Amino acid sequence: KELSSYLNSGMTVITAIKLLENQHLSEKRYSDFLNSVKTMIDEGKSLYIALNSQNVYILPDFFLQSINIAGQSGQMVEVLNNMGNFFSAQSKVRKQVSNAMAYPLFIFIVAIGMSSFLIAFVVPKITSIFKDTGQELPPITQFVLGLSDFLSNHYIALLVGLILIVAGFKFAYSKVQAFKKAVDRLLLKTPVIGTLIQNYELGRFSYILSLMLGSGVSYAHGVKLAATTFNNSALSDLFENASAKVLEGNKLSNALQLSKGVGLKRNFMQALALGEESSEVASILENISQLYYEENEDRLKLLLSLLEPFMMLFIGLIVGVIVAAMLLPIFSMSLGPKT
């Protein structure tokens, strides 16, 4: 984004990069990246070759190919500006999701921590009162006392087990492709979450492809590059298989319709088919990307508005059960002599 602004003001690429390097000296990795690119451009290499050859950052192929075509067509300023807008939008989406989930996650952790503390440390101290009376305890009290005994005696094993499960899941998801694909397919079929994932993934694919088409990348090559940007492996496999058929001369909409495994959103398929028929793919894909971005934003706000009271209700329910389990026997003891 900054580079496009400098180039638009009339600076050369090398001057603009030197200026950027001076402005970001405190950011060592970014400064090393700019210095590496600057050195190669000083040697007479193009911006595309310099970006592709540096080893500080791993840059996405669609970005590099767009820069390559832009350098040949003279659209460098426009392409860099569009890419800057794209990466800024992606960063904004990630921040929105993080901010949306921060409060519910905090409430959930507090609820689990508070209930675990009550059951594991407070309840056992009250247990002796009930044991001395010898009276039959209500089922809810028996359940809470049993849970308290279990947690008190096995909390270390439970904590270690939880850590191992989380670590094992993360390892399997990142290293075992079959496991990752199974989880990704399950996530796509999950209500609400599946829609959010598909909106995000299809919206990003649409915008990346529209950017590359606007940069001068051919449709077939653009589809192939954009298909590699999916995070969800089920969608990635679907589009990579379809992109191979596009390289053979088929339309992407037809290739996706013939593919099995993932049911894509109907309005995406209709918009894609319309764009391919009317030769307005880039503008239609950009519009569908904006539509999905706004839809996800609205869904996240709605989800958050529903999640907050649900979490408060969850905390109240846990505390209420524990309090009821402790008070019911006490009430029984106080009423016992009168009866």
Task: Cite the DSSP H helix spans in 192-279.
Answer: 193-215, 219-226, 233-247, 252-258, 266-278
Q: At what angle do helices 193-215 and 233-247 cross, to 10 degrees?
A: 30
Q: 86-339: which CATH topology?
A: Receptor-associated Protein (1.20.81)
Residue 320 token pair:
């209420």
Q: Per-residue pLDDT for 13 more than 90?
A: no
The structural domains of the chain, with segments of one domain joined by +, span 2-85, 86-339
Let me know if the fold of 2-85 is the same as that of 86-339: yes
| CATH superfamily of the domain spanning 2-85 | Type II secretion system (T2SS), domain F (1.20.81.30)
The predicted-structure confidence for 35-86, as pLDDT tens digits, reads as follows 999 899 888 888 889 998 988 888 888 888 888 888 877 788 888 888 888 8
Q: What is the mean pLDDT of residues 214-232?
A: 88
Q: Per-residue pLDDT for 338 more than 80?
A: no
* DSSP assignment of 6-62: HHHTT--HHHHHHHHHHHTTT-HHHHHHHHHHHHHHHTT--HHHHHHH--SS---HH
The predicted-structure confidence for 154-183, as pLDDT tens digits, reads as follows 888 988 999 999 999 999 999 999 999 999
Contact 70, 79 (CB under 8 A): yes
Contact 86, 233 (CB under 8 A): no
The predicted-structure confidence for 249-259, as pLDDT tens digits, reads as follows 899 999 998 87
